[in-house]
Structure 1
Amino acid sequence: MLQASKVLQFSPKYLLPRNIRTMASAASRDVQVSVTPSSCLHDEPVQIRAEGLSPNQDVTLYLSMRDTRNVHYISTAHYRADSNGQVDVDTMESLGGSYTGHFPMGLIGTLHPAPSEYKFTRFFKRDVLNPNIVDLSVFDGHLTEEKVCTPECEKALASTKHERHYMGPGVQRIPVRYGKVRGSLFLPAGEGPFPGVVDMFGTAGGLLEYRSAQLASRGIAALSLAFFAYDDLPKTLEEFNISYFEEAVEFLLKHEKVRGPGVGVIGTSKGGDLALSMAAFIPSIIACVTINCYSSPIGVGMRVKDRLYPCLPGHDLQNVCLDNEGAVVIRRDVRDPRKSKESTLPIEQSNAAFLFLVGSDDQNIHSEFYAQLACQQLRSHNYQKWFEVCSYPGAGHLLEPPYSPHCSASFQHTFMLPVRWGGRSKFHILAQEKAWYKMREFLLQHLGCDNNVVKEADCQKVTFLKSNL
């Protein structure tokens, strides 16, 4: 059993000491900038401080990070030091830059493509075995992001590095090739057994593992399940058969470290209507979380034995428009499942408790409408199990785990144009925190968790040891 006070052992090559402070040149030797802790799990907040400045000195804090594709992301914030020459982001307000006002995790949450990058780019983390490396610098004066990114910009007063891990100590990643099933299983540290979930995303395709890795770091065994454009799966979305998803649940329940007799499912966007299909037709799904999705199949249908549940009709282009940045806004194209009875999934026959997480500013799907419609369907059949909608004001479509960079629009191959996802940065980032804890609480409650190892892993802040970086 893990003890909250125990220092966990990590491989030295991945980790940094806590409270590391890197000094700059001799000319600025007294200025220090720090991130505390300097290495942590990705869902943990940090404290950012600068010290040794002149009283009331104007400075720019500059954050820089690269994703798996080497796309450069940055954020800036303008602060004024106090009378002691200190800046504490936890307590002080930003005067400009990527955000304004009091926002302790604003620098990390507002990371966005640098001026040299294509602005409609979504941050993707394909390699979860290694952390995100964040560079933090403090510059004299209030600088624009264009200025701070130029080679001619004056040298930073001080700089430091910060690591954000997706996988906690002892978490295992196991590639999965089980029958037709393709994906990765993430197992928490410890003996288990652990509550288990199937985890799916949307039409980005491939295999996205970052949420599963973080769930396992918090005590939940998670199968990151691919369903197209990965390995030997179809390259494009094709008609689904519920048997593929039954096989995935079978694999999960057969694992000795996964606690039965039931498991959960999580789905975002297209993954959400797949999650609803699984809840409707697979009895061992006992907890279902959907994030900003339709309540019926979209894009392609779902075959269950001899019956096909067809997808909802395609987009009505009269209801699709471009915004002032040239991004496609789809929210107004509401395809009402009540007009397509043959597409309606019989979720009222499920054994699952349901949690519908929605962003009220989702510009891709009118997700709140579909969540309420699903609840109305359950209510009309006197559904006896738990179901709930959690709506987050100002949050957009891409409701990710905490402190993932907010992406309000990105290029999508369906339209061959950028698509608007929505969300106002500060509200969206705060919503990601709340939704993450709500989802984990829901899963642990409805999957019958009483395992002390899981409880400790869920609440524990991890201490990391020294890295070679």
Structure 2
Amino acid sequence: MSSQVRLRLLPSDRCLYDEPIQVKVSHLRSRQVVTIKASSTDEKGVLFSSSATYRADGNGDIDLVRDASLSGSYVGVEPMGLLRTLKPNTLNTLFIKEEALEPHMVKFSVHDEEQDQILAEVTNERLLMADGVSRVSVKEGNFRGVLFTPPGTGPFPAVLDLSTIMSERRAALLANKGFVVLTLPVFQEKLGNLKMLHLDPFEEAIIFLLQQPKVGSKRIGIIARSKAADVALSLAAFVPGVEAVVWINGCSANTAFPLFYKKRQILPALKVDTKKFIPTQSGAVIAKYAMDDPLKEENRATVIPIEQANTNFLFVASEDDLNWDCNIYKMEMEERLKRHGKKNFESMCYPRAGHMLEPPYTPFCPSSVNMFVKMQIMWGGEPRAHAAAEVHLWKKIQEFLRSHVSCDPVQLTDLN
């Protein structure tokens, strides 16, 4: 490595996962062309990497906020492009970073390709938990999950974070913003053993969450995507205590498994026809048009009666979602609520975003295995537009939850 060339991450090498950084290189030769690389290994041991070529200015400086990439994983000015474009060394692989205690470690390095030399390197430590946030594993009654609590006395609003499989990332990041967050997997047992889904364990989780000493809200917010999003709608419609729901790229009907509550079936399952999957050259399939139409007469019983919910909704749909026809479901719910004289909803639509909307600066995933059909599925999205949607949505989610899941007295703390 060159002793002169300097690579800096500003404001610090250490930051929260959802915070941007400024990458700067100095002490290069005037107009020198170099390659800046990023690499990270996920929790499954999969290596993700990206690179971009830059030309230094007359002073030998490069600033990714100012300067355009000439070639590589992306072209143009994109300050966080190296993170967004991290790609796996195996096709159709999802970036796995779900455990909150360990940071996301990304190594940045500057290379002189002509000399085959590393000029400088630095590691970015991207924390999922801010200082003082507590993490406690929870196993109560019929549910298991993880509880994140901000520092301070509160009171704080309560949020239930539902994910298809166990994930701590979004919940930890919301706790950093001043929410008490309980994260649960929708499926508390192996899918192979599952014949039905029950709302009762989620009701237990809501009661548990509202009983936490730092919680000041009388009702909770829920955030969920995909299959978990229709579970969130069902909780709003049938279970007391839900003040707000953030529904992301889901369905307006109950999908996959019959839904039970209080020992009786409340909704049958909308089915998927795998014969309608569309194959692609990558080996992954497009599943967007394979779900049965919930508005057909024979499927209407699967539609979740959100019009009976005393809940505020934020509907979020990606127009380039290749897994669900979620924008159609969003519009159907909007129209249904309007017909019932309801104004308790907001909507967001992202034209070139795909299914996998995550907290900001997560590596973009075009395709990976779908746990239901055990096939490689295309998720959709134009990478740069998808990344911009994630940044915008993350702020919107926080604003929506702060606005509707209120405490008395209001004391919402942003730890950033």
TM-score range, shorter chain: over 0.9
Shift of 1:453: 5.3
Contact 2:354/2:381 (<8 A) preserved: yes
For 2:202 and 2:58, the matched residues in 1 are separated by 61
**Aligned partner letter, 2:377:** V
CA gap of 1:176–1:238, structure 2 versus 1, over 3 A, is farther
For 2:17 and 2:126, the matched residues in 1 are separated by 5
1:249 to 196, 203, 206: 206
CA gap of 1:374–1:129, structure 2 versus 1, over 3 A, is same
CA gap of 1:236–1:72, structure 2 versus 1, over 3 A, is farther
For 1:415 and 1:336, the matched residues in 2 are separated by 18
1:300 to 253, 257, 263: 257
Contact 1:297/1:309 (<8 A) preserved: yes
Q: Which residue of 1 aligns with 2:149?
A: 187
TM-score by length of 1: 0.84
Q: Which residue of 2 aligns with 1:62?
A: 37
Shift of 1:236: 4.6
Shift of 1:224: 0.5
**Is 2:401 aligned against 1:401?**
no
Contact 1:229/1:235 (<8 A) preserved: no
For 1:130 and 1:366, the matched residues in 2 are separated by 35
Q: Which residue of 1 aligns with 2:92?
A: 120
Q: Which runs of 5+ in 1 are unaligned?
A: 1-23, 143-152, 461-469
C-alpha deviations, 1:133-155, integer Å up to 9, x for none?
1111001148xxxxxxxxxx933
For 1:238 and 1:175, the matched residues in 2 are separated by 27
TM-score by length of 2: 0.95
Shift of 1:229: 5.2
**Aligned partner letter, 2:75:** T
Shift of 1:349: 0.9
**Is 2:369 aligned against 1:411?**
yes
Contact 1:372/1:389 (<8 A) preserved: no
Q: What's the secondary structure of 2:243's corresponding residue?
A: strand
For 2:134 and 2:26, the matched residues in 1 are separated by 39
Q: What's the secondary structure of 2:37's corresponding residue?
A: strand
Q: Which residue of 1 aligns with 2:224?
A: 267
2:21 to 46, 64, 77: 46
Q: Which runs of 5+ in 2 are unaligned?
A: none
**Aligned partner letter, 1:195:** P
CA gap of 1:331–1:314, structure 2 versus 1, over 3 A, is closer
Shift of 1:167: 0.2
Contact 1:30/1:52 (<8 A) preserved: yes
**Is 2:308 aligned against 1:344?**
no
**Aligned partner letter, 2:176:** S
Percent of residue pairs bearing the same amino acid type: 38
Shift of 1:454: 2.6
Q: Which residue of 1 aligns with 2:270?
A: 312
Q: Matched residue pairs, number?
A: 412
Contact 2:252/2:333 (<8 A) preserved: yes
Q: Which residue of 2 aligns with 1:6?
A: none
Shift of 1:313: 2.4
Contact 2:216/2:408 (<8 A) preserved: no
Shift of 1:60: 0.6
| Bigger RCO of structures 1 and 2 (CA < 8 A, at least 6 apart) | 1
For 2:104 and 2:45, the matched residues in 1 are separated by 11
Shift of 1:218: 0.8
Q: Which residue of 2 aligns with 1:29?
A: 3
Shift of 1:324: 2.1
Shift of 1:374: 1.2
1:332 to 269, 289, 293: 289
2:111 to 139, 150, 153: 139
4+ residue segments displaced more than 6 Å:
none
CA gap of 1:451–1:96, structure 2 versus 1, over 3 A, is farther
Q: Which residue of 2 aligns with 1:217?
A: 176
Q: What's the secondary structure of 1:277's corresponding residue?
A: helix
Larger displacement relative to structure 2 (304-313 or 322-331): 304-313
2:65 to 80, 84, 90: 90
For 1:169 and 1:63, the matched residues in 2 are separated by 26
Q: Which residue of 2 aligns with 1:110?
A: 85
Shift of 1:254: 1.0
Shift of 1:70: 1.4
Note the aligned Cα RMSD (angstroms).
1.7
For 1:224 and 1:90, the matched residues in 2 are separated by 35
Shift of 1:100: 0.8
Q: Which residue of 2 aligns with 1:150?
A: none
Contact 2:272/2:290 (<8 A) preserved: no
Q: Which has the higher strand share?
A: 2
